[in-house]
Structure 1
């Protein structure tokens, strides 16, 4: 028995070669991360970006699960799905907060404008004149 391989012999590669990553897996992850950041830091604006990460991540995960030998990158697609979902929820809550805040301010302005009697400026003048 010789230790030299026959001519033309190629050693087998170690492990199973990985399929290429899905071309939209990173896009879903980016949409999700940007959506979360915008939802948290910019007062709910991410609600307009995060659903794209959510939807795209779900679709890419379904495509990868349907044919796992064709594509890899399920982790990035799943990250896009999860962060898109979180960004959508945070963004919706932040938008509801801002809408409620604006409504509260409008109600306070209307109530203050209907009030009769002395205004704050008149009260300050009365207080100052009584001390002089």
Structure 2
């Protein structure tokens, strides 16, 4: 007795059979961290950046078994932008403090 061949996959290979690939377990978390790191709390940006890079590597290594690449990529990019924003903010604060200290020293020595 012969069995008919299984139907071809529609969207890619899934570890649970045919059908769409399973989304990466941290895809939504990385997306949320990236958006929050960009909009409200830039401290979350580096976390989204590091977690996003790791998840992108896992999705690429899965050979199509894992989905959610677009969500991870958006969170990853938002994490990079949030990290750059926090670095620029810290540089501005350091610059203002240096100018303030230099101005205070200059004004105290002129009297």
Q: Could you list the structure 1 runs, at least 4 aligned residues long, displaced by more than 4 angstroms after superposition.
A: none
TM-score (norm 1): 0.66
Number of matched pairs: 98
CA drift at 1:96: 0.2
Greater percentage in strand: 2
> Which one of 82, 87, 102 corresponds to residue 107 of structure 1?
102
For structure 2, list consecutive stretches of 5 or more residues without a partner in the other structure: 1-6, 12-18
For structure 1, list consecutive stretches of 5 or more residues without a partner in the other structure: 1-11, 39-44, 117-132
TM-score (norm 2): 0.77
- For residues 4-40 of structure 1, what are the alpha-carbon distances to aligned partners after superposition, in whole Å with 9 as ceiling and x for unaligned? xxxxxxxx7x9432122111111112222222224xx
Cα distance in 2 for residues equivalent to 1:102 and 1:37: 25
Cα distance in 2 for residues equivalent to 1:55 and 1:91: 15
